[in-house]
Amino acid sequence: MVLLDGKKLSEHILAGLKTEVAAMKKKIRLGVVVIGTDPVIEKFVAQKKKAAEEIGIDVRIYRFDEKVTTNELRKRIAELVHEPHNTGVIIQLPLPGHINKQYILNAIPPEKDVDVLSGRAIGSFIVGKSTVMPPVAGAIKTLLEEYKITYQNKHIAILGAGNLVGRPVALWLLQEGVTFSVITEETGHPEQLLQKADIVVSGIGKPHFVTGDMLKDGVIAIDAGTSESSGKLVGDIDPVSVAKQASHLTPVPGGVGPVTVAMLLKNLVTLAARKK
């Protein structure tokens, strides 16, 4: 089983971006909206901040109390997205349950939406009008290309239909005209479709949910799900259990995650370059 080294790939992408950023002679800043003080969220924010600053991109963090209302938050975001110093803005997810998530995400105009999560950015992406793609989809595409795995003629199964993994990956494959299946958690027997897939992308956030017996021999297993288990980052796919079936696996940590951060910053640089 080959492990796809996302850490190494992300370092390569970031090195390229660093050169680009230096050549642009333009201040680039990422605005990050953080609600509450969850330690897992803080860890993700810290990773993005570190990667950005290493390549010469400023990060400004906007913190809100977890009791903030949807309306207050939307109002503040509408202001900060128009702040000229913010080249791009992201809302760190997940948001507290009382917040209308999509309404908040829609406050980011497409030209600053590096996560491609607003309705307008998604719409542009679907019709092929966007210059950026959802970071997780970009990460998976780049990982597959790096390891010379052609996916266009394969059957790809996506486990989960959430807006951070399942949905953007499905939209990407739909746009590319690739054959794929979306398997939601409501599906009684997910293994029946998973076993038909040449490539499996998982994004449900259930620790080691996917085991070897659910997959076909030679499968390429892409783990885009992360959860915390006793303070450690754990993926959806059980690496020990799938070692016999999978020809390739993205580890957690060090697989899809770091490449997704690199693609987020790549989007930011792309949007910065287009800015007048």
Under 8 Å between Cβ of 27 and 58: yes
State in angstroms the smallest separation of the CB of 209 from its own copies.
16
Rg (C-alpha) for the chain, rounded Å, is: 18
State in angstroms the smallest separation of the CB of 16 from its own copies.
29
Nearer to its own copies, 28 or 33 (CB): 33
The pairing of strands 232-235 and 199-202 is unpaired
State in angstroms the smallest separation of the CB of 261 from its own copies.
24
Q: Applying CB under 8 A, which of residues 99, 132, 183, 252 lies at the interface with its own copies?
A: 183
The pairing of strands 232-235 and 226-229 is antiparallel
State in angstroms the smallest separation of the CB of 223 from its own copies.
20
Q: Applying CB under 8 A, which of residues 174, 232, 243, 247 lies at the interface with its own copies?
A: 174
Residues 110-169 that bind its own copies (CB under 8 A): 118-124, 126-129, 152-153, 155, 161, 167
Q: Applying CB under 8 A, which of residues 92, 106, 142, 245 lies at the interface with its own copies?
A: 106
Q: Distances in Å between the alpha carbon of 266 and those of 40, 103, 204, 248?
A: 24, 25, 25, 25
Q: In sequence order, which ranges of 55-189 are alpha helices (DSSP H)?
A: 70-80, 101-105, 119-126, 135-146, 166-176
State in angstroms the smallest separation of the CB of 179 from its own copies.
5
Per CB under 8 A, does 186 bind its own copies? yes
Determine the size of the site formed for its own copies (CB under 8 A): 37
State in angstroms the smallest separation of the CB of 186 from its own copies.
6
The residues, any chain, with a CB within 8 Å of residue 251's CB and separated by 6 or more, are 3, 4, 6, 223, 235, 239
Taking Cα atoms as reference points, which of 136, 123, 209 lies closest to residue 169?
A: 136
Backbone angles phi, psi at 34, to 5 degrees: -120, 125
Q: Which two tokens stand for residue 131?
A: 């210059």
**What string marks each residue from 189 to 228 as x (binds its own copies by CB under 8 A) or -?**
---xx--x--------------------------------
The residues, any chain, with a CB within 8 Å of residue 226's CB and separated by 6 or more, are 205, 233, 234, 235, 252, 253, 257
State in angstroms the smallest separation of the CB of 102 from its own copies.
5
Stretch of 57-65, 132-140, 182-190, 250-258 lying at the interface with its own copies (CB under 8 A): 182-190
Q: Applying CB under 8 A, which of residues 41, 61, 93, 178 lies at the interface with its own copies?
A: 178
Per CB under 8 A, does 266 bind its own copies? no
Taking Cα atoms as reference points, which of 8, 61, 11, 13 lies closest to residue 266?
A: 13
Under 8 Å between Cβ of 242 and 208: no
Q: Which residues bind its own copies (CB under 8 A)?
A: 102, 105-106, 118-124, 126-129, 152-153, 155, 161, 167, 170-171, 173-174, 177-184, 186-188, 192-193, 196
